[in-house]
Amino acid sequence: MHILGIHDGHNCGATLVSDGTVVASVCEERLTRNKNEVGYPEKSITEVLRIGGVDAAELDRVVYASNFMHGREYLTSLEPWYRVGLADQRAAERQPKDYQKVIFDRRRQERIDQAARQLGVPSESIDFVEHHLAHLAAAYYTAPARPKGKPVLGITCDGAGDGLCATVSICRGSDIERIAETSRHASLGKLYSRLTFLMGMRPWEHEYKLMGLAPYADPERADRAAEPLRKLLRVSGDGLRFEQTGELSMNYSYEYLRDAFERVRFDTIAGAAQLFTEEMLLEWVRGCIRHTGISDIVAGGGVFMNVKANMLIAAMPEVTSFYVMPSGGDESLSMGAALLRYYQASGKTEFDASHLENLYLGGEFGVSDEEAAIEAARANGNLEVRQPNDMTGEIATLLASGEIVACCRGRMEWGARALGNRSILTSADDYRRVDVINRAIKMRDFWMPFAPSIREEARDRYFDDPKDLKPWFMTFAYPAKDGGYADLTAGSHPRDKTIRPQLVTRNANPDYHAVISKFEEKTGRGVVLNTSFNLHGEPIVHTPADALRVLLNSGLDHLALNNFIVSKAAA
């Protein structure tokens, strides 16, 4: 049974699920080379079908995530509907109610027509999954196996989708029972995104910069600065919802926030945003557990991209286990929609086929692709090309000698995180490497940390994972252990000494695991710095040609492909 899932909003993409297995999932940005691409993901749809070897005529179902999704023009022009306040809210409330239904019906038909036209399938085979149900399905079905018969608490939290910003559900077998939901007007995620906008950054993209800046804030100042936020939102008495404290909707909170934070230090604003988010999430999760008696949690939605908040939730004594959907923002919606429809159609109550042990769900390239890309690149630069007998050993040798190596090898990762196959790697033991990488290619804000990839067998030297959360996908932060901190100082947050690790297993990525193992043999360090392979402002690379273009247009010296090491001649 082949199900195609489509997300046609912000950070759009497509997923192919065959008999419950996620065969392929691709974000459109990787193919169009336009970061956080918005709209209908035509190229991704074609690509996932190609990877899966499935013709459109073989699809049993095509399913869109979200009952309603704005068109491209609306999603690429945020300023007019971000710079608003209470007067705008009151004007919007006077709008005729049937106006929204007309827009809804028109967009629904447009979306059906787009998919039917591209795929050549009948309109009757195309349907929709509600936004937060898709978020939860992505987390629930892909989570590691749990004891049979034991219920799971499913929570979602994001900016908004289909009128909601958070939900609470009890998941038993194939049954997902929603017991609470929060209106988009009380959105914690919207508050964070408006503060991102207020600070001159891009909403839906730069929220992680506030999270990275927050530890630099003075805690007392941040606590005082959070008071205006506490006057906007609270957790309901039953602990299951967020609710407004007054009339103001978070959709229209920009003017209030602008006035409240005028002349407040930039780091203090970030600290207040993070502190308030953590307070609200912890109180909410505690209330959900108290209400349901369920302490095994799966979570989805963009707010759970906040790895610092996830760290605090995981540490709560009430929490037994906590699985966060990898890259759980809207890019995960197409996966959740496809998985939900598969299990509804098949009636299966065992989800082993859907558990994600790796995220290498994109395309891969052979020797002929690499040779063609190298030949084309030679016209634009003086390159040295070699074909080592032991590629992993050669990469490890370069890293051990202090070099920076970009990798474009194997299947491309899905989601926001680079996990070794489209990564820039270097030794993590010298904090000066951060400046070297930033000058060469990344140009990250000075306060933003890099992350470490840690060989699974070396985990206990670098951080404690008492609840065995299996942080394979950089979804949690952890305090770094003092004893191993010197090995990964360049892959940590220098202010609070936390790390956002990728735990690399032999099963998930034997090639990457071998690189780190051989690096450890040479240096005694079982960890490398890993950051995404892209030019500043661009998506992560996809093809060998993308990789070579970045090599030539940056300060990088070495590129590892599947079959070749390409170096600038001067290096």
| Domain residue limits, the chain | 2-132, 145-326, 367-568
Tokens (6 digits) for 98: 């049937």
pLDDT computed for residue 546 by the predictor = 98
- Are 145-326 and 367-568 equal in CATH topology? no
Confidence grade of residue 251 (pLDDT, cut at 50, 70, 90): very high
CB-side neighbour CA atoms (13 Å) of 101: 3
Tokens (6 digits) for 300: 């989805």
Confidence grade of residue 145 (pLDDT, cut at 50, 70, 90): confident
How many angstroms separate the Cα of 158 from the Cα of each of 185, 450, 546?
Answer: 12, 24, 32
pLDDT computed for residue 449 by the predictor = 95
| 564, pLDDT greater than 90 | yes
Give percent of the chain with pLDDT exceeding 70.
Answer: 100
How many angstroms separate the Cα of 570 from the Cα of each of 251, 403, 421, 435?
Answer: 53, 14, 25, 21
pLDDT computed for residue 571 by the predictor = 52
For 2-132, CATH gives 3.30.420
What is the torsion angle, in degrees rounded to the nearest 10, for the CA atoms of residue 186, residue 189, residue 192 and residue 195?
-70
Q: Which CATH class is domain 367-568?
A: alpha beta
Cβ atoms of 402 and 525 closer than 8 Å:
no
pLDDT computed for residue 179 by the predictor = 98
What is the spatial distance between Cα 518 and Cα 525, in angstroms, rounded to a whole number? 10
pLDDT computed for residue 50 by the predictor = 98
What is the spatial distance between Cα 453 and Cα 94, in angstroms, rounded to a whole number? 53
What is the spatial distance between Cα 422 and Cα 541, in angstroms, rounded to a whole number? 7
State the average pLDDT over residues 320-332: 97
Per mean pLDDT, which range of 119-123, 173-177, 415-419 is the poorest?
A: 173-177
SS3 assignment, position 406: strand
SS3 assignment, position 81: helix
How many other CB atoms sit within 10 Å of the CB of residue 435?
Answer: 11
What is the torsion angle, in degrees rounded to the nearest 10, for the CA atoms of residue 72, residue 77, residue 83 and residue 85?
-20
pLDDT computed for residue 76 by the predictor = 86
Secondary structure in 3-state letters for 189-255: HHHHHHHHHHCCCCCCCCHHHHHHHHHHCCHHHHHHHCHHHHCCEEECCCCCCEEECCCCCHHHCHH
Tell me which H or E stretch contains 270.
helix 266-292
pLDDT computed for residue 232 by the predictor = 98
Q: CATH fold of 145-326, please? A: Nucleotidyltransferase; domain 5 (3.30.420)
What is the spatial distance between Cα 544 and Cα 458, in angstroms, rounded to a whole number? 31
Tokens (6 digits) for 271: 């600290």
Closest CA to 517 of 527, 502, 503: 527
User: Which residues in 394-465 belong to E strands, given as ranges?
Assistant: 405-407, 423-427, 451-455
The 10 Å CB-count burial string (b at 16+, else e) for 371-391 is: eebbeebeeeeebebeeeeeb
Mean of per-residue pLDDT scores for the chain: 96
State the average pLDDT over residues 478-501: 97
State the average pLDDT over residues 373-390: 94
Q: What is the pLDDT of residues 264-315, one digit of tens each?
A: 999 999 999 999 999 999 999 999 999 999 999 999 999 999 999 999 999 9
What is the spatial distance between Cα 244 and Cα 175, in angstroms, rounded to a whole number? 31
**What size, in residues, is the chain?**
571
pLDDT computed for residue 98 by the predictor = 83
Give me the phi and psi of 467, to 5 degrees please.
-100, 10
Tokens (6 digits) for 513: 């695991």
Alpha helices in 349-483 (DSSP H): 367-377, 391-400, 432-437, 459-462
Which residues contact residue 305 at a Cβ distance below 8 angstroms, ignoring those fewer than 6 apart? 207, 208, 327, 328, 329, 416
SS3 assignment, position 150: coil
What is the torsion angle, in degrees rounded to the nearest 10, for the CA atoms of residue 379, residue 380, residue 381 and residue 386?
-50
What is the spatial distance between Cα 423 and Cα 434, in angstroms, rounded to a whole number? 15
How many angstroms separate the Cα of 463 from the Cα of each of 325, 335, 490?
Answer: 21, 31, 15
Cβ atoms of 558 and 425 closer than 8 Å:
no
State the average pLDDT over residues 161-177: 96
- The model carries a pTM of 0.96
How many other CB atoms sit within 10 Å of the CB of residue 439?
Answer: 11
Confidence grade of residue 95 (pLDDT, cut at 50, 70, 90): confident
Cβ atoms of 110 and 72 closer than 8 Å:
no
Q: How many helices (H) and strands (E) does the chain have?
A: 22, 22
Q: What is the pLDDT of residues 28-69, one digit of tens each?
A: 999 999 999 999 999 999 999 999 999 999 999 999 999 999
The 10 Å CB-count burial string (b at 16+, else e) for 480-509 is: bbeebbebbbbbbbeeebbbbbbbbbeebb
What is the spatial distance between Cα 344 and Cα 175, in angstroms, rounded to a whole number? 9
Q: What is the pLDDT of residues 96-118, one digit of tens each?
A: 878 788 889 999 999 999 999 99
State the average pLDDT over residues 491-497: 96
State the average pLDDT over residues 500-521: 98
pLDDT computed for residue 212 by the predictor = 97
